[in-house]
Amino acid sequence: MYNTPMTLYNWNTHPREQLNPQIARKVIHGVNMTIARLELAKHAVVPEHSHVHEQISMVESGALKFFLEGREQIVRAGEALKIPPYVPHKVEVLEDSVVTDVFSPSREDWIRGEDAYLRK
């Protein structure tokens, strides 16, 4: 059991990181998971990539087209998509969107700044 205190975060005041002109994020890293709230402009693209993390993407507003395992899947507001670890995937943003992504384990690569694929 962890002896760390409970921590309250507020997305409205949490630091925002502009990754490129079309993608911004706010991130909370836990011991075993990372949660990110992304603001994605229409026509933005997250290039194909893969990672050790299991990922659940929940679309709060807008619409995204995911490409994975030879399939295309449109995910709209109120829907969520689970992406298994190591599966290459790409995203095209169909509408201005707000998305919450949950990753397990924690995104140590983001903490180290190894996220160049998002900064292009």
Higher pLDDT, 93 or 112: 93
Spatial distance between the Cα atoms of 77 and 94, rounded to a whole number of angstroms: 12
Give the domain extent around 30.
17-118
Residue 117, pLDDT score:
83
Residue 3, pLDDT score:
64
Q: Tell me if 4 is assigned to some domain.
A: no
pLDDT tens digit sequence for 1-28: 456 788 999 999 999 999 999 999 999 9
Residue 119, pLDDT score:
84
> Does residue 36 surpass a pLDDT of 60?
yes
Q: Tell me if 90 is assigned to some domain.
A: yes
Spatial distance between the Cα atoms of 102 and 110, rounded to a whole number of angstroms: 13
CATH number at residue 52: 2.60.120.10
Task: Give all strands of the β-sheet with 97-104 in edge-to-edge order.
Answer: 17-20, 23-29, 34-40, 97-104, 54-61, 80-83
The number of folded domains in the chain is 1
Cα three-residue angle 7-12-18, rounded to 5 degrees: 105
pTM for this prediction: 0.91
pLDDT tens digit sequence for 61-104: 999 999 999 999 999 999 999 999 999 999 999 999 999 999 99
